[in-house]
Amino acid sequence: MPVLKDIRRKIKAIQNTQKITKAMKMVAAAKLRKVQTRMLNFRQYADKIHEVTVRLAAGAERQLHPLLMARPRKTVEVIVMSGDRGLCGSFNSNIIKAGANYINDLRKNGFEVSVSTIGRRGRDYFKRRNIQLRKSWTGVSGNLLYNTAHEVSGDIIENYINETVDEVTLIYNEFKSVIAQKVSVVKLLPLAPIEAGEEVAVSPDILYEPSQKEIFERLLPKNVEIQVYRALLESSAAEEAARMSAMENASQNCDDLIARTTLVYNKARQTLITKELMDIVGCVEALK
């Protein structure tokens, strides 16, 4: 009988776990709907402002703004954007693996690498491997604010203008669908056409008011800020989608485990009943 009690206790524990995974799935689904709406609405705006910035910067003199200045690539800043929490499948492991591989490739090619992280999981991973972090931000998951993008972009711009770094690359999970996320490697600074050294004449159709310099002083930092915020939104949506899928799979696994454990319980119970019947028949035969 103690065996049956243990099996019943195990079934009860699995059922309780399933209640938790189902609740977490519902919470993740609610958060996903909210952040997905924000992300989809912001994605087109971010793409358009980046396109406009690149077009204007391609035909401008590089001396107009420090962010337009292209330098030989010596020190590369790599920002790895992960989550603060787990229970989201391979979301964190994929981005951390991609970031570590990218950093190793840069070092093999002789570049100095400065590493920063957004998210507790990425920070802990690099600290465990004794990789010095220049900067880290945590507490972003589930508490996404535009102020975070403003803080991160301000730090990026300051270090680029001070020539502490010559290039800034952001690695994050881009949201594709509820069941698919893509690791994206985005070069924030310098702007691609400037880095490639393309000389594009200023279009005569473009009029600058009040002036090129004043426009770039507002537009270039704003573009960096917007691209960082877009990455935060994409990563947040991808994380909630991954967590929802992981919890759904966990709930299904609980169903399978409950079915298998119930079968074991029924077999043990049947064996015990059969044994008791055999004992009763044996006693009856002995009394004859």
Any idea which residues carry the catalytic annotation?
88
Shortest CA distance to 33 belongs to which of 205, 241, 222? 241
The distance in angstroms from the start CA to the end CA of the chain is: 30
| Spacing of C-alpha 196 from chain mean position | 29
Q: Which two structure tokens, joined as six digits, stand for 161?
A: 């203008």
Task: Using DSSP bridges, classify how beta strands 133-137 and 167-177 pair: parallel, antiparallel or unpaired.
Answer: unpaired
3-state secondary structure (DSSP) of residue 47? helix
| Spacing of C-alpha 274 from chain mean position | 55
Shortest CA distance to 39 belongs to which of 209, 202, 175, 214? 175
Shortest CA distance to 248 belongs to which of 31, 28, 12, 10? 28
3-state secondary structure (DSSP) of residue 89? coil
Spatial separation of the C-alpha atoms in residues 258 and 270, rounded to whole Å = 18
Spatial separation of the C-alpha atoms in residues 160 and 164, rounded to whole Å = 6
Contact 221, 157 (CB under 8 A): yes
Shortest CA distance to 175 belongs to which of 97, 246, 113, 232? 232
Find all residues with CB under 8 Å of 2, minimum gap 6, and list them: none
Element (H, E) at 115: strand 112-118
